[in-house]
Amino acid sequence: MQVLQLNNPAVVQLAGRSSRFGVRRKQLDYFLVFWLLVISGNPGVSMLAGGIESILSVTFLGVGAILLVRRNLQWSRWSAVPFVVFGFLLLIQCLSFQVFPYLTIIGFLIRLSIGLIIWMLVPRLPYIFIRIMVFLAVISFFFWIGGSLGFLRPLIIRFAIQNMEIEAVHSRLSLIVHTYVMTENGLSFRNAGMFWEGGAFAGFLNLAICFLALRRDRFSTKTYRTYLFFLCIGVLSTLSTAGYIVLGGNLFLHSLHSIGRYPSSAGFKRNMALLRIALVTFFILTVGFYAWQNLPFLGEKIMYQYETARYQERSGWYLTRLGTMVLDWEYIKKRPLTGWGIRHDTRWALHGGGTMLEFRMGNGLSDFTTRFGFIGILTFAGLTWLGLFRMTRKNRVRAIIALGIILLMLNGENFLNHPFFLSLMFLPVYKGVSIPEGKHRA
C-alpha cells in the first residue's frame, strides 16, 4: 500500500487551492452578512439606488445565484414554516379585503427569502454578525466624534446624500458609512452608525450583545470582554431610550452565563455565581434609577409619551412609541388573528387608509402584530425562541430572556420591515456546519 507523502507537489498544490477557497468563502460570508445589514438599515445606499426595492431585487437574484452553485447545503423543515404561515395570512387578507397587492406581497416574500438564503449560506452568521457590529461600533466613533467636533463638517456637506422626502427637522445626511441626523440646531449628538438613526443602531448593537451572551463560551475571555466593551459603548453613544433599556436586560443576560456552568452540588462556586448575578442586578437597577432621574431621554421622555398616549389631547399623540401602541390596539381588537395586511390602505383602514403614511415610524412590535395578527407575531416569536433555545444549548430560561430582549427592541423601531430581523425566524432552520469548537480571538 502506497503512503501519500506530505511533501508531494500534488498534495501541496491541492492544499493551497483548498486554503484559498476557504479564505474566499470566509470573505464572502462576511460580505453577505454585512450586505444583509446594509439593506436592512443603511439609508445612503438606498438613496443612491433610487429606492430599496431595486436593491432587494438585485440582492435576491445575487444570493439566489450563489445558492444554486453552492453544494452540500442542508436545511430543516422549519425553513418552510414562515412562508407557509405568512403566505396563508396574506391570502386570507386578500380574500377579506378583496384586493391583491402583488407587488407589496412579492416585496415581503423577497425580504423573507433573502434572510433564509443568507442563513443557509452562512452557518456562522451569529458569530460573524457580532464581529461586524464590533467593527461598525469602532469605526462609527470616528465619524460621530468628527461630526460632533466639526472637523468632518466640510466632508459631510460635500458628499452627503440628503433624503428630501423627510421633513427638514428629521433629515438624514448619509456618507454611506455613517448617517448624521439633523435637528433645528444642526447635527444631532447621537451616534447613528451607518443606520437611519441612533435608535436603529442601538437595536443592532443590542442584538449583537444578546448573541454574544449566548455564544460567550466560544470566545476567549479577553476577546469577549473587548467585544462587550465596544458594543456597550456603542449603545451608550446612540442616546437611545429603548437602546438603554434593552442594554440593561442584556447585561443581566450576560450575568446568567456563570450560573449554568455549575451544578447545584458545586456549592461554593454556584453561590459565587449567584452573588455575581445579584451584584450585576443591583448595579443595573442603581444606574438605571439614576439615569431615569437625570437623563431627559429616559424618565422625562417616557413619562411624556405615557401622558400623551393616555390623554390623547396633544396633536400627533399617536406618533410616539406608546401612542402608536394605543392606536394599534384598536386594529388588533378588530382583527386579532390575521391582521390588516401590509398595504397602507388596509393597514390604516380605520383612520383614512393610504393617507396615514405618517404612522410608519411608530411602535414596531404593535405594528407587526397589527399587520399580521397574533398568528404572525407568535410565529416570529416561536421560531426565534427555538433558535435561541438551540444557541443556549437548550437553556429555557436564557432563551426566554433573550427572546424578551428582542421583542423589547422591536418596540423602539420598525425592524421587522427589514430583512435582518425578519431572518431571525430562520435561526433554527440550518443544520450545516456550526461554529467550530474552541476559543475565538479578535
pLDDT tens digits along 92-120? 999 998 888 888 899 999 999 999 999 98
In percent, the amount of the chain with pLDDT more than 90 equals 42
Whether residue 22 is predicted with pLDDT greater than 80 in this model: the reply is: no
pLDDT digits (tens, 9 = 90+) for 218-265: 888 899 999 999 999 999 999 998 999 999 999 999 888 765 555 555
The answer to whether position 267 is within a domain reads no
Confidence of residue 58 (pLDDT cuts 50, 70, 90): very high
Please tell me the total count of domains within the chain: 1
* pLDDT of the residue at 73: 75
The answer to whether position 264 is within a domain reads no
In the chain the first and final C-alpha atoms are separated, in Å, by 44
* pLDDT of the residue at 279: 81
Average pLDDT, the chain: 82
The answer to whether position 320 is within a domain reads yes
Half-sphere exposure of 150 (CA within 13 A, CB side): 1
Residue 364 CB neighbour total at 10 angstroms: 24
The answer to whether position 208 is within a domain reads yes
The answer to whether position 290 is within a domain reads no
Whether residue 430 is predicted with pLDDT greater than 70 in this model: the reply is: no
pTM, two decimal places: 0.87
Whether residue 350 is predicted with pLDDT greater than 70 in this model: the reply is: yes
Which residue range forms the structural domain that includes residue 345? 14-255+295-426
Phi-psi region at 195: left, alpha or beta (left = phi > 0; alpha = psi -120 to 50)? beta
The answer to whether position 271 is within a domain reads no
Of the candidate ranges 326-330, 336-340, 374-378, 432-436, the one whose mean pLDDT is the lowest: 432-436
The answer to whether position 207 is within a domain reads yes
Of the candidate ranges 56-60, 209-213, 234-238, 258-262, the one whose mean pLDDT is the lowest: 258-262
| 5 CB burial (10 A radius; 0-12, 13-18, 19+) | exposed
What's the CA gap between 345 and 357, in Å, rounded? 9
Report whether 52 contacts 165 (CB < 8 A): no
What's the CA gap between 347 and 356, in Å, rounded? 9
C-alpha cell at 275: 452573588
pLDDT digits (tens, 9 = 90+) for 372-395: 999 999 999 999 999 999 888 888
The answer to whether position 438 is within a domain reads no
Report whether 161 contacts 153 (CB < 8 A): no
Whether residue 70 is predicted with pLDDT greater than 70 in this model: the reply is: yes
- Mean pLDDT (whole number) for 322-333: 89
* pLDDT of the residue at 50: 77
- Mean pLDDT (whole number) for 173-181: 86
Whether residue 27 is predicted with pLDDT greater than 80 in this model: the reply is: yes
Closest to 256 measured CA to CA, from 405, 368, 363: 405
Closest to 344 measured CA to CA, from 67, 61, 97, 59: 97
Higher-pLDDT residue of 421 and 1 is 421
Of the candidate ranges 289-293, 353-357, 381-385, the one whose mean pLDDT is the lowest: 353-357
* pLDDT of the residue at 306: 74
Higher-pLDDT residue of 238 and 123 is 238
